[in-house]
Amino acid sequence: MSFAIVPIATLAGILSVAWIGWLGHLELGIHQQWLLSVPLAANSKIVLVTIQKDTPRKLNLQGQGLPLPRRYHAALIDALREAEADALVLDLLFLEESERQQDAALRKALARSQPLHVTLATKEEKSAADPESPTGWKYWFARPVVLPKPLPPNVVVASAKAFDPGRRIDGAVLLQWDEKTKQPIPHLAFSAVLGGFDVSPSDLDFDTVRQQVTAGILAWPVGQDGELHARWTQERFATREYADALKALQGGEGRSFFHDKIVIVGDITTDSQHTPLGEMPGMEAVAHVLNTLLVQATLQGTRWRIPANIVWGGILALVVVAAARTLRPILLIAGVLAALAAALLMPRFAQATWNVWVDTVGPCLAVVIATGMAAVLEGMRAGERARRFAPSHVREARPAALTEVATVLFVDLRGSTAMAEKLGPAAAREVLSELLGRLSNVIVRHGGEVERTLGDGLMAVFRERGGKRLQHHALQCVRAIKDLQHAVAPIDARLGQQHGVGASLTIGIESGVISGAVVRAVDREEWSSFGPTVNLAARLQGACGEVGQCILLGPGAWSSIHHEVPTVFLGTVQLKGIKEPMPVYTLESNFMASSEGSAE
């Protein structure tokens, strides 16, 4: 049953991350820390083209500052298309009209830009709360005024929205929805990556259950609000000043440098962002997001899916349960610590070695849940074992010393010496063990307690329980005698048939006041009853042979049962160690034959 904990704990841990939002955010945050701990180089495919304060001077724009005339951007688009650049990201806003000729030049350049993938920046015009949207907000986006009609498929409008909890940019929001057009708006960096896969923004979807942006078979893991944490690199991206880049492209000598590159163009004079690496231009922050997206594992969405995480979490939970079953605290602690260490270190190893995102939170939860459930289950089992094997005085929380009214039973095997000589010590020991086991089962079933075994016999006590009267435990003891005789009968028959020896019982019973106390030794403790009643029961059993009876009852036991059980008065007998002769009784043979009993 304990191994049933494994699937329960595993499913609870793994699915909690998928269904509980804040756990998903926690997983994303931990994954980000793993990513940050793995060095990431600046991708050589990324080139930054920066517009600086002296760029107008280099372009011979005498007396003119920023922004640059749009015809230069048109010329840059044409030059990058001829250089066979892979993509161009214009991290510049064209939301207001400028000179008609300038806008027309840029519009025409965009119209003829294929196969160059061009992304134009936009920004939110308005936002409002919307609980039904994936991010919980409605967004309206301004449309650049330079877009050609019809819009070429290689030209995409994208958002520059950063993910900035705590007023520090940690990444980017990969996907938003424009309530005007009902179309998804990707991030600038995401749009550049989509161009490499020939994926249109209209093909994108946001899977809120798995927390990933999907396009066909492609998937990009994100947070609950569509955010992607960037992997910030200390390395510098290849950078060219705008005028120098344009001159090199138009002169022909710079075309090889921009061939098959993703070019990000931005103004570094006005746009500054606070990032984990300190202050940097906004276009450089976009480059870090793009660098993160260009990691092959991230592009292919290699976060372990739920089934893979369930298998991993199940292995860890199995280790915990196996350790718990040993019932050794040291092994349990070692198993739990080993499972937690594996759950914490495996994601780091997988990220560094294979660029694979292995969940941390779900497997750790599986280990914790498995530990708790295994501890509870093994605690219940330990309690059950304690109830089974602990002495009666412990289970009943009996006082350390007690005087009470009870019935005492002594049982001895007649002919045990002859049996040992006939069978040999080993075989005789096995017979005695079987016999005492049968007798003990009968006594316990009738409400008695086997207080101790006596070599080839035993002593048992039938106590008052739950306020029952004296007659109750005396009658229970007498009724048990019938089953004791039947329990020994099969052994007697087998010994007689196989070895020519018999096995029969001699029994002494007395009821009255007894005293008991806990007797403690170095490594154990037991309950011991004593007093005249105990002594008389033992003497009655020992006198069975002299009287010629198998069962002898003392006067206390007789007075408790004679109204309900037929007895025979045998007279007074001088018992060993008893000063006065004692009246003794036995049970009528008809009473013993009236019940078939049951052998144990």
| Confidence (pLDDT) at 111 | 96
pLDDT digits (tens, 9 = 90+) for 416-439: 888 888 888 888 889 999 999 999
Mean pLDDT of 567-578: 91
| Confidence (pLDDT) at 394 | 65
Say if residues 68 and 259 touch (Cβ distance below 8 Å).
no
d(CA 197, CA 217): 11
Q: Is the pLDDT of residue 598 over 50?
A: no
| Confidence (pLDDT) at 298 | 43
Gap between the terminal Cα atoms of the chain? 29
| Confidence (pLDDT) at 299 | 39
d(CA 16, CA 18): 5
Question: pLDDT higher for 454 or 145?
Answer: 145
Q: Is the pLDDT of residue 465 over 80?
A: no
Instruction: List, in sequence order, every beta strand (DSSP E) within 168-248.
Output: 171-173, 175-178, 183-186, 205-207, 212-215, 218-221, 227-229, 238-241
Q: Give the 3-state DSSP-derived string for 553-598, with helices as H, strands as E and coil as C.
A: ECHHHHHHHCCCCCEEEEEEECCCCCCCCEEEEEECHHHHHCCCCC
Listed range (51-60, 216-225, 464-473, 586-595) with the worst mean pLDDT: 464-473
Q: Is the pLDDT of residue 297 over 60?
A: no
| Confidence (pLDDT) at 91 | 95
| Confidence (pLDDT) at 252 | 83
d(CA 264, CA 190): 12
| Confidence (pLDDT) at 477 | 93
pLDDT digits (tens, 9 = 90+) for 376-417: 887 787 777 666 666 676 667 778 889 999 999 999 998 888
Say if residues 263 and 89 touch (Cβ distance below 8 Å).
yes
Listed range (238-252, 305-319, 344-358, 557-571) with the worst mean pLDDT: 344-358
Q: Is the pLDDT of residue 466 over 60?
A: no
d(CA 168, CA 232): 13
Query: What are the beta bridge partners of residue 266?
Result: 50, 91
Upstream peptide bond of 115 is cis (omega within 30 degrees of 0): yes
d(CA 544, CA 546): 6
Question: pLDDT higher for 85 or 499?
Answer: 85
Share the mean pLDDT of the chain: 87
Upstream peptide bond of 150 is cis (omega within 30 degrees of 0): yes
Say if residues 242 and 67 touch (Cβ distance below 8 Å).
no
| Confidence (pLDDT) at 597 | 44
| Confidence (pLDDT) at 314 | 94
- When pLDDT is cut at 50, 70 and 90, the band that residue 296 belongs to is very low
Q: Is the pLDDT of residue 567 over 50?
A: yes
CA distances from 40 to 176, 241, 259, 282, 355 (A): 27, 25, 23, 20, 11
- Give percent above pLDDT 70 in the chain: 91
Mean pLDDT of 173-187: 88
Mean pLDDT of 262-279: 92
Q: Is the pLDDT of residue 39 over 50?
A: yes
Chain centroid to CA 468? 50
- When pLDDT is cut at 50, 70 and 90, the band that residue 207 belongs to is confident
Listed range (4-8, 325-329, 465-469) with the worst mean pLDDT: 465-469
pTM: 0.52
Token couple for 404: 């009470």
Mean pLDDT of 476-491: 90
Mean pLDDT of 222-250: 89
Q: DSSP letter at 67?
A: S
Give the number of other CB atoms < 10 A from CB of residue 472: 18
| Confidence (pLDDT) at 293 | 87
Instruction: List, in sequence order, every beta strand (DSSP E) within 70-190.
Output: 87-93, 117-122, 124-129, 137-141, 155-159, 162-163, 171-173, 175-178, 183-186
Residue 133: closest CA among 203, 225, 222: 225
Token couple for 459: 């002593």
Token couple for 16: 């909690």
Residue 371: closest CA among 330, 342, 337, 343: 337
Chain centroid to CA 456? 53
Q: Which residues contact 73 (CB under 8 A, 6 or more apart)?
A: 90, 92, 106, 109, 265
Q: Is the pLDDT of residue 337 over 90?
A: yes
| Confidence (pLDDT) at 401 | 86
| Confidence (pLDDT) at 60 | 92
Q: Which residues contact 187 (CB under 8 A, 6 or more apart)?
A: 158, 159, 160, 161, 172, 173, 174, 175, 228, 289
Q: Which amino acid is at 315?
A: I
Listed range (37-41, 193-197, 518-522) with the worst mean pLDDT: 37-41
